[in-house]
Amino acid sequence: MRILVTVKFVPDLQSQRSFTDGAVTRTGDDGTMNELDENAVEAALQLREAAGEGEVYALTVGGDDAVAAVRKALQLGVDHALHVADASVAGSDVFGTAKVLAAAVRKVHDEAPLDLVITGMAALDGLTSMLPTALAAELDWSQLTLASGLTIDGATATVVRNLPDAHETVSAPLPAVVSVTDEANTPRYPNFKLIMAARSKPVTTWTLEDLGVDAATVGAAAARTVVVDASPRPPRENRTVVTDTGEGGAALADFLIERGLA
Partner 1 sequence: MSTVAVLVESRDGSVTQPTFEALTLARTLGTPVAVWIGAAPAPAEAARLGIHGAEEVRVVDAGDAARLPAAAAAALGAATADADVVLVISTFVNKEIVTRLALATGAGVVVDASDAEMVDGHVETLQTVFAATWNVRTRIATDKAIVGIRPNTTQASPGETPGAATLVEVAADLPETRELVTGVEPVPAPDGVPLAEAPVVVSGGRGTNGDYTLVRELAELLGGAVGASRDATDEGWISHEHMVGQTGTTVTPALYVACGISGAVHHRGGMQASGTIVAVNIDPDAPIFEIADFGVVGDLGDVIPQAIARIKEVRGS
- Interaction site with ligand AMP (CB under 6 A): 6-8, 34, 36-37, 40, 60-62, 97, 101, 119-120, 122-123, 126-132
Task: Considering only residues 10 through 49, tell me which ones interact with ligand FAD, judged by CB under 6 A.
Answer: 35-36
186 binds, among ligand FAD, partner 1, ligand AMP, none (CB under 5 to 8 A by kind): none
Considering only CA atoms, which of 135, 104, 97 is closest in space to residue 119?
A: 135
**Which region, judged by CB under 8 A, interacts with partner 1, from 14-22, 55-63, 110-118, 198-206?**
14-22
Q: Is the dihedral of CA 91, 130, 63, 27 positive or negative?
A: positive
Verify binding: residue 182, ligand FAD, rule CB under 6 A: yes
Under 8 Å between Cβ of 119 and 131: yes
Write 189-195 long-range contacts (CB < 8 A, 24+): 190/72, 190/75, 190/76, 190/77, 194/74, 194/75, 194/76, 194/77, 195/75
Rounded least distance, CB 223 to ligand AMP, Å: 13
- Supply angle C-alpha 108, 112, 118, rounded to 5: 55
Question: Are the beta carbons of 60 and 66 closer than 8 angstroms?
Answer: yes
Closer by beta carbon to ligand AMP, 129 or else 204: 129
CB of 168 to ligand AMP, least distance (A): 20
The alpha carbon of 187 is separated from its chain's Cα centroid by a whole number of angstroms, namely 14
Tell me how crowded residue 241 is: count the other CB atoms within 10 A of its CB.
4
The correct pick among 9, 57, 95, 206 for binding partner 1 (CB under 8 A) is 95
The whole-angstrom separation of Cα 148 and Cα 54 is 23
Q: Which stretch binds partner 1 (CB under 8 A): 49-57, 103-111, 208-216, 226-234?
A: 226-234
Tell whether residue 170 is a contact of partner 1 (CB under 8 A).
Answer: yes
Residue choice 55, 106, 129, 194 for contact with partner 1 (CB under 8 A):
129
Nearest to 1 by CA among 71, 50, 40: 50
The least CB distance from residue 62 to ligand AMP, in Å, is 5
Q: Is 16 exposed, middle or buried (0-12, 13-18, 19+ CB in 10 A)?
A: exposed
- Partner whose binding site includes residue 97, from partner 1, ligand AMP, ligand FAD, none (CB under 5 to 8 Å by kind): ligand AMP
Residue nearest to ligand AMP (CB): 120
**How many residues bind to ligand FAD according to rule CB under 6 A?**
3
Chosen residue from 60, 93, 184, 208 binding partner 1 by CB under 8 A: 93
Q: Which residues pair with 156 in a beta bridge?
A: 153, 173
Q: Give min distance, CB of 166 to ligand AMP, in A.
A: 23
Q: Which of these segments, 78-86, 109-117, 187-195, 223-231, binds partner 1 (CB under 8 A)? A: 223-231
Interface contacts to ligand FAD, rule CB under 6 A: 35-36, 182
